Amino acid sequence: MRFGIRARLTLVLALVGLLVAGLTGFYAYHVSRSLLVQSSQNELLLSTQVLARRIALTRQEVSRNLMVLASHPAAQTSLQAHSAVAQAQLATLFKVLMAANPAYLQIRLISAQDHGLERVRVDRDSGTLQEVTGEDLQEKGHFAYVSETLKLAYGETYLSPIAINHEQGSHAGLDRPTLQLATPVSDANGKALGLLVINLDLDGMFALLSADLPEDFALYLANHRGDYLIHPDSTKAFGFDRGHRVLVQEEFTATAALVDQRAENLVLQADQGPHAFAPLLAAFVGRPVLANSEETRLILGLARPLESVLKQTDQLGRTIVQIVILVSLACALLAVLVARALTRPINSMIAAVHRFSNDNKVLPLPVERSDEIGTLARSFARMQGQIRKQMDDLHDSREELEHLAQHDMLTELPNRRMFMDRLKQAIARAQRTEEDFALLFIDVDNFKNFNDSLGHAAGDAVLKTVALRLASNTRKVDTVARLGGDEFVVMIDNFSERNLIAAFTEKLLVALKAPMEFEGHTLCVEFSIGISQFPEDGSTAEEVINNADRAMYRTKAGGRNGYRFTSDANTQPNLL
């Protein structure tokens, strides 16, 4: 049987169409897999950084709880007078804190006398809180966390090395990974009377922090030497406690750069050694320990099986197979009549796929056609829409996390990180344009009294009101930020004359000092302000802000409720 040109053209076009569609589908599938892997790596790194930030905030929260307990009168009374009433009151506070924080295994008040004898102690035991009294209280003076904490100044925090707790009588904390944070309890002269210690359940704390992560995410934590503290395989954690060290840099070679502090973040694909048959996508970050501790650095990592990431491409593969079949049928049925017409839309779709894969640009597709080519175009359009939606969702999530990383959660003002960036930009701009600026360092006077008398909700309400008044009484070109606690800063642009700065500050103080209402209480709040000017009071961001801070403290020392310029070192503060 002889084939005519029509049959041969039909066959050739059908084969060509099949080849083009197959190659296009394979290329699109390959590029989509690469984009998906890259997106998953970025998501892992972002999740790891957010988790590291949450860990830092948790440590700060524990330090704040320690300071609340250390500043409570019952702590000093329990150590100085051995008052049973004060000790019972303190034990009640310990139980309240432990009930609100499931990761707290133990809270203790330890005396600097009597070989570090425990004065008040509450343990978690089998899901209940147990107060330890009498002869069950132990001497702890031989432990490093006692001696090291007693060397610290009031307000400082000691963080112990992360290890397995072998202290006898620790109830639920015995033989569990434990982290101890402690702070001294001092008398009015600053002499350390004892210390407060909170034992944290490391596994429980990380279980709470990582509860929002997907189920297939694996968590890793290592100390500054690379020893595993948390590992999906529990037998590899705390190997040094059993005489056999297991190091993160041995399992993930690239993390040696984090251990040696040559890098802060890294992403990798582990497909060798123990992960040769089950590759992982992983992200690790190294962060310094911002506390008095033998632990100088912690390495945190999240990993996810590559297989689970690539499962998301299964539907894409099936869609591409369907597209290839549709193109083949279309070429076979319509080659003779519309051979020339077939090449044009196919080429346009190939160009669209290439453009989309190269720079994520969407070119018009012939989706209005009612034939197989239209079906193919609509399938491509759906594929592009799916990928674009995934990329948009990832972008939105990244922007939201970036906003949280740069703004204070309570007041929605820029935080220290964002303010320091803007301050450095302002210095660079001022050096170019010679337009000076001023910085106001604002501290709420006696802020602790609001928390102590009306509760932390009152303190939060004061901070929110202060933030709102600062934002309402400054210009859009000015920058208002909360550095932490009750400390705020205002950078006023294009202010160089001292009398104008003073007038602005006085007007701002009047607005800030207006009475505040909270649950039927009228709160009268006063402020101490320190003012520095650029470039007179510093040539770097650190110098400008530190000089304003010192001026603020001179205002407090001079009677509070006023303001002082950095250059006012030998004059009285301006009081209102």
408, 486, 537, 549: which is the annotated catalytic residue?
486
Lowest mean pLDDT: which of 113-122, 126-135, 338-347? Answer: 338-347
- 507 found inside a domain: yes
pLDDT of residue 570: 43
Please count the structural domains in the chain.
2
Lowest mean pLDDT: which of 110-124, 204-218, 401-415? Answer: 204-218
| Boundaries of domain holding 134 | 73-205
Q: Could you say which of 175, 205, 235 is where a domain stops?
A: 205
Q: Could you say which of 153, 188, 205 is where a domain stops?
A: 205
- As given in the structure block, the two tokens for residue 115 are 């070989």
Instruction: Give residue-wise pLDDT tens across range 459-517.
Output: 899 999 999 999 999 998 899 999 988 999 999 988 778 999 999 999 999 999 999 98
- 296 found inside a domain: no
- As given in the structure block, the two tokens for residue 291 are 């506390």
- 93 found inside a domain: yes
State yes or no: is 233 an active-site residue: no
Whole-number Å distance between alpha carbons of 345 and 369: 10
Which residues are 418's β-sheet partners? Answer: none
Helix (H) or strand (E) holding 258: helix 256-259
Residue 199 in contact with residue 173, Cβ under 8 Å?
Answer: yes
pLDDT of 267 above 60: yes
- 378 found inside a domain: no
Tokens 């809270």 -> residue: 107
- 459 found inside a domain: yes
* CATH number for the domain that contains residue 536: 3.30.70.270
Q: Which residues contact 101 (CB under 8 A, 6 or more apart)?
A: 65
- 127 found inside a domain: yes
Residue 9 in contact with residue 339, Cβ under 8 Å?
Answer: yes
Average confidence (pLDDT) over 276-284: 90
Q: Could you say which of 142, 172, 205 is where a domain stops?
A: 205
* CATH number for the domain that contains residue 188: 3.30.450.20
Query: What's the pTM value of the predicted model, to 2 decimals?
Result: 0.52
- As given in the structure block, the two tokens for residue 468 are 């709102």
pLDDT of residue 1: 47
pLDDT of 563 above 80: yes
Instruction: Give residue-wise pLDDT tens across range 524-538.
Output: 899 999 999 999 999
Whole-number Å distance between alpha carbons of 308 and 320: 20
- Band (pLDDT 50/70/90 cuts) for residue 382 is confident
- As given in the structure block, the two tokens for residue 53 are 């930030």
Residue 473 in contact with residue 491, Cβ under 8 Å?
Answer: no
- How far is C-alpha 50 from the chain's CA centre? 4
Whole-number Å distance between alpha carbons of 350 and 348: 5
Beta-carbon neighbour count of residue 293 at 10 Å?
A: 20
- 64 found inside a domain: no
pLDDT of residue 572: 42
The amino acid present at 490, given as its one-letter code, is V
Local structure of 51: helix, strand or coil: helix
